[in-house]
Structure 1
Amino acid sequence: MSERESNRKDSRLKPTSAVLDDLNQGDIHGAFGTIRVSDVTPRRTWRRRILTLLAIVGPGLIVMVGDNDAGGVSTYAQAGQDFGYSLLWTLLLLIPVLIVNQEMVVRLGAVTGVGYARLISERFGRSWGWFSAGGIFLLNFLTISTEFMGVSLAGEYFGLQPVIVVPIAAAVLVLITVSGNFRRWERAMFVFLFASLLVLPLLVLSHPSGDGVLKGFVTPGVEGGLTSNSALLIVAIVGTTVAPWQMFFQQSNVIDKRITPRWLDYEKADTVLGAFVVVIGAAAIMMATASAFSGTPAFGHYQDALHIARGLHVNISPAAGAIFALLLFDASIVGASAVTLATSYAFGDMFGLRHSLHRGVRDAKLFYASYTGMVAVAAAIVLIPYAPLGLITTAVQAMAGVMLPSTTVFAVLLCNDRDVLGPWVNRRWLNAVAGVIVGAMLVLSAILVISTAIPSVDVPTLLVVLGSVAAAALLAGMVWSWFTSRGAPAPPRFSREERANWRMPALALLERPAWSRGRRIAIGALAGYLVLSIVMLAVKAVQLGMR
């Protein structure tokens, strides 16, 4: 039987369900519980609500903790070593960004039953689908490589050669994924998630300055002033904390777990919990490294995560260095699994292949082959000697930050499409928040581009100018949206039960939305700017590498 996702008995009949794989429908088998597909009983007691949450929890926590991957750990550690506590405020601002972005794809996954890449392709055209998927394929592959860099550096701290530890890690990743059992995979991921709690004893051992921490959280600023280098790191912090791959992963993982609109509130809770967990972990790493390196000759001279571990060993204690190395290894495994799976999900979406963890290898050969192939190639690349691992990691995280606006824009467009989400479309305030997110990321990436092209530019002044332009554009957009929506018919009202049962019709039954000329120009300009930003980011990385 072909792996193409065509499970309909009569191809002459248009399907009425949008879910592309029959195994993405049925009972929810979570790591900590089961919900039968026939179970529609309201949860009226706290005990039943908690049991339901335990069954649902997973996609949100995994995607968020997976976001504190090798690149994340390295980037937060660099922020602490190079800028002390002064960038802690960025993490607080990223909590709503995380929640807003991921909540949108949670709704898209539960309501549509279709992956992010496939939705973009079907609603906006194959060219935009491939533009989005192609970018995520490239970014994710580079990100997976940074995960194995983390494995290599963690192993080196303990005296293990990369040629030993990297292949072992790659084998572990493949084995926990190709079991053909979603619950088994999720439970394996939770083992690594619990290991990430090692960040708490690391924080305790580092004895961070209370005054420094408080000032870092409540006073926006950058130690030494805002420069192109600090702008690069801020973009990297955003890119590693709110990465584009997260949106692809969580939407598909929600579908794979068989979460429907009836259980959306629980998955949203899972996502919010994960957002706070990831920010707490990031802050702990930043505080620990700030405490360890402040006042030492190594302050402001980040190299890579291995030197961070050794610095913690010397400046705090051997236990602190070992804990950081273990955290790096654990983060690398979780991140590699989630990022690779996000890529394989997108691969299956674009090629119409079966791509569910409920299927065994025989039933989804290409899905698992793509996963295994990416793991193997990324692991092999890391074994190339003399690669500037620290610089590569920062550049990849910054690339994620540069790509985030376009990914968010597509999510906003899809979440305002009533044919796709029906009663679950975005509310106006959510569109406004998403607009602020996109504007802020465009400003940061523009600073990176302009300061790279014109090194003598005054970055603080540039920030004020670009921020003012972005704010004016956002305000104009809000006014225009309000003006054009006046007199529009009120959307139909749905009862709670109707919302719980509403699913997107089959894609074959939907007409593709027509884009205005203005929207085409805006999206085209965003795509062109994205390409330019990535080119300039590469230039910046080369400049730093030649120092």
Structure 2
Amino acid sequence: MDVGSTALASTAPDSGGPRRRRWIHLGFFAVWGPGLCVMLADTDAGSLITASQSGAQFGYRMVLPQVILMPILYVVQEMTIRLGIVTGKGHGALIRERFGRGWAYLSSTTLFLSVIGALLTEFAGVSGVGELFGISKWITIPIATVFLLALALTGSYRRVERIGIALGLAELAFLIAMVMARPNLGDLAHGMASLPLHDPDYLKLLAANVGAVIMPWMVFYQQRAVIDKKLSTTVIRQARHDTAVGAVLTQLIMISVVVAVGATIGLSNSGASLNTVGDIAHALTPFLGEFGGTVLFGLGMLGAALVAAIVSSLAGSWGLAEVFGWKHTLNERPSRETAKFYLTYALAHLIGAAVVLASLDLVDLAVDVEVMNALLLPLVLGLLLMLEAKALPPQWRMRGPHRYVTWVLCAAVIGFGLYMIPGTLHW
């Protein structure tokens, strides 16, 4: 019996009283995971670096966009829940089925670009955290790579999900750092009311923040994760709650980084050179102390990088397998049937690790990757909206205000992405 059936059975009328309520809560808890995991991965090393740059350069003026992005993030990922649970098919498979191989190959290209970009920033983040504590990247990167490869061989999606969430919760350290920074609430309110949209540097960072929140690989991941977790239509409401809580949490983490850096570096030294994870941590240390500036920042960054490496690489492997018709699931150990899926997962990590060991400028890379994600969003969201309207039975499609709000929010993101393309590409 799958989780959805279990939850349905647990909600059937009985006379169990407290015992019945306990089983209901357990059933609900069993449904949670895909949304929380993908949202914690959303706040990855690249996103956190982008948030740090935003706080350092523009103080609190990037906080309001983070708040606005909460509902946008939720409505996008909520569509993947319904598509995955109702159709039982992943995002790439649905695109190939509904729109043909050409569109499927194009979507897999956007997925490949965003996943490789994400993995580069995650491994660079792991390297940077190691160097904070005097550990060479030639030690931290191989250890992280072996850990990530071994994780996929456990033969259980649920186990991978639990480990990912546990790692991602380390990001809560940034909330503590924000409190330690003691932001002035009056200045925070003033900054939120001031958006310098005329400034091209602000617009580029705004695009990076949009790309840091809605990433192509997130769509592929959550749609497949609800399938591997064997969720049914009886628990879609609980799956939505999982996603909503995750959307709020991930944006609170982004806000905490913007505020912590804005209240410290942004006020005293907005022109500080922040080219590595170490630069950011060392710039925070005079304000937050060794514990806040190094330990908390390093712990949060490491957790963010590892959970995002897990989720993005799985999304890429699942998505490519769906487009090319390979068998793909984490609930089976490697075999001849699943060899291509697992090989893709392994190669993504090995390529990312090798490139980072060749040395990269993390901050510039992170911002550029997130800007690239924002530029890819018109295609990603356009296909997602069309699938929602065509692939789902009528009773599972959006209706009324829900439909109009979702289309307006997605249209705003698509329009912003299209607007940014000429300037970003220097046309």
TM-score bucket (shorter structure):
over 0.9
CA distance in 2: counterparts of 1:285 and 1:243, whole angstroms: 19
Instruction: For residues 52-86 of structure 1, give each alpha carbon's deviation from its aligned partner in whole angstroms, at most 9, with x where no partner exists.
Output: 22101100000001000001111111111111011
Instruction: For residues 19-62 of structure 1, give each alpha carbon's deviation from its aligned partner in whole angstroms, at most 9, with x where no partner exists.
Output: xxxxxxx523xxxxxx6569535367654442222101100000
Partner residue of 1:42?
11
CA distance in 2: counterparts of 1:240 and 1:27, whole angstroms: 33
Check the 8 A contact 2:7/2:28 in 1, yes or no: no
Partner residue of 1:392?
365
Instruction: For residues 159-201 of structure 1, give each alpha carbon's deviation from its aligned partner in whole angstroms, at most 9, with x where no partner exists.
Output: 1111111111111111122111222212211221332221222
CA distance in 2: counterparts of 1:394 and 1:38, whole angstroms: 42
CA distance in 2: counterparts of 1:266 and 1:118, whole angstroms: 25
Partner residue of 1:292?
264
Partner residue of 1:371?
345
- The answer to whether the aligner puts 1:56 opposite 2:31 as a matched pair is yes
Distance 1:38 1:245, change over 3 A: closer
Local SS of the residue matching 2:60: coil
Distance 1:282 1:305, change over 3 A: same
CA distance in 1: counterparts of 2:384 and 2:402, whole angstroms: 12
From 276, 281, 286, the equivalent of 1:309 is: 281
From 128, 131, 156, the equivalent of 2:103 is: 128
Local SS of the residue matching 2:267: coil
Check the 8 A contact 2:40/2:169 in 1, yes or no: no
Q: Which has the higher contact order (CA 8 A, sep 6+)?
A: 2
CA distance in 2: counterparts of 1:43 and 1:86, whole angstroms: 50
Give the letter for the 1:293 counterpart.
I
Partner residue of 1:381?
355
- The answer to whether the aligner puts 1:104 opposite 2:79 as a matched pair is yes
Distance 1:158 1:298, change over 3 A: farther
Distance 1:450 1:127, change over 3 A: closer
Distance 1:85 1:300, change over 3 A: farther
Instruction: Quote how far apart the aligned CAs of 1:447 are.
Output: 4.1
CA distance in 1: counterparts of 2:115 and 2:362, whole angstroms: 16
Instruction: For residues 263-318 of structure 1, give each alpha carbon's deviation from its aligned partner in whole angstroms, at most 9, with x where no partner exists.
Output: 10110010001011101111111111111213323446543432111111123211
Instruction: For residues 414-450 of structure 1, give each alpha carbon's deviation from its aligned partner in whole angstroms, at most 9, with x where no partner exists.
Output: 1112x53331012143332233234322443344334
CA distance in 1: counterparts of 2:291 and 2:89, whole angstroms: 46
Instruction: For residues 451-496 of structure 1, give each alpha carbon's deviation from its aligned partner in whole angstroms, at most 9, with x where no partner exists.
Output: 45xxxxxxxxxxxxxxxxxxxxxxxxxxxxxxxxxxxxxxxxxxxx
Partner residue of 2:239?
267
Partner residue of 2:226?
254
Q: Which runs of 5+ in 2 are unaligned?
A: 14-19
Partner residue of 2:255?
283
From 417, 426, 451, the equivalent of 2:398 is: 426
Runs of 4+ in 1 over 4 A off after TM superposition: 35-39, 43-46
Check the 8 A contact 2:8/2:234 in 1, yes or no: no
From 8, 22, 42, the equivalent of 1:67 is: 42
How many residues are matched?
A: 419
Distance 1:247 1:356, change over 3 A: same
Give the letter for the 2:138 counterpart.
V
CA distance in 2: counterparts of 1:341 and 1:422, whole angstroms: 30
Check the 8 A contact 1:110/1:260 in 2, yes or no: yes
Partner residue of 1:485?
none
CA distance in 2: counterparts of 1:212 and 1:406, whole angstroms: 38
Instruction: Quote how far apart the aligned CAs of 1:117 are.
Output: 0.8
Partner residue of 1:343?
316
Check the 8 A contact 1:228/1:448 in 2, yes or no: no
- The answer to whether the aligner puts 1:449 opposite 2:424 as a matched pair is no
CA distance in 1: counterparts of 2:393 and 2:81, whole angstroms: 11
Instruction: For residues 75-124 of structure 1, give each alpha carbon's deviation from its aligned partner in whole angstroms, at most 9, with x where no partner exists.
Output: 11111111101110001111110111011110000000000011011101
Partner residue of 2:303?
330
CA distance in 1: counterparts of 2:383 and 2:398, whole angstroms: 13
Instruction: Quote how far apart the aligned CAs of 1:209 are.
Output: 1.6
Instruction: Quote how far apart the aligned CAs of 1:244 are.
Output: 1.6
CA distance in 1: counterparts of 2:217 and 2:96, whole angstroms: 17
When you count helix as a share of all residues, which structure comes out higher?
Answer: 2
Check the 8 A contact 1:415/1:421 in 2, yes or no: no
Q: What root-mean-square deviation, in Å, do the aligned CA atoms of Structure 1 and Structure 2 show?
A: 2.0
Provide TM-score, normalisation by structure 1: 0.73
Give the letter for the 1:372 counterpart.
A
